Amino acid sequence: MIGEQYEISENYQKFMEIINDKNIHVVKVEAGHKINIEKNFHIDVLWPNSNKIINENSLNNNSLVLKMVYKNFSILFTADIEKVAEEEILKLYKNHPDILKATILKVAHHGSKTSTTEKFLRVVKPKYALIGAGENNLFGHPNEEIINRLNQKNIKIYRTDEMGEIEIIVKNTLKITPYLYKINNLCAQ
């Protein structure tokens, strides 16, 4: 399952060659598609939208945005979208903003300052934010402005650059375990 591509990159071409060589069936999805996994568990495809293709940094801004829903729990996966895509997504769902509301927001583009706008956060209303960034990465991700924005909204932040791998377990209650943080706390005792 992949999102529709609006710009063909060298990596995409290599990917498609592997898919063709191995005879793997590919399904292209876009906004409005729903993937049913099992009872009470599905994934809504919220973006990209072939009627609203973004030309600016198209590989990032037309990347897949998915909302995984399990009972009353949800995660909004925002890939590498930037402010321009967030604005289009907000317009697309302006009459149904609850579609964007999520328990956890996987912060877009590794916490880059190009996304996770105040307006987007107001609609998503996450309790938790996950930021996937490498330790001491060359881009300085996550951006301090984004961290401050999340903190101002009292959103609990989990960061792979500081905490290592993060596991989320959803049963009757939510449990988020940052492995490195847990290990460091044990070592400090």
Phi-psi region of 68 (alpha: psi -120 to 50; beta: other; left: phi over 0): beta
List beta partners, residue 156: 128
- pLDDT of residue 6 exceeding 80, the answer is no
φ and ψ at residue 77, rounded to 5 degrees: -95, 115
pLDDT for 57-69, tens place per residue?
888 999 999 999 9
pLDDT at 183 over 60: no
Tell which residue, 130, 144, 141, has the closest CA to residue 177: 130
pLDDT band of 181, cuts 50, 70, 90: very low
CB burial string 151-182: b at 16+ within 10 A, e below: eeeebebbbbbebeebeeebeeeeeeebebee
Q: Which CATH class is domain 2-188?
A: alpha beta
Per the structure block, which two tokens stand in for 152?
């101002």
> Global pTM?
0.86
pLDDT tens per residue, range 105-129: 999 988 889 999 999 999 999 999 9
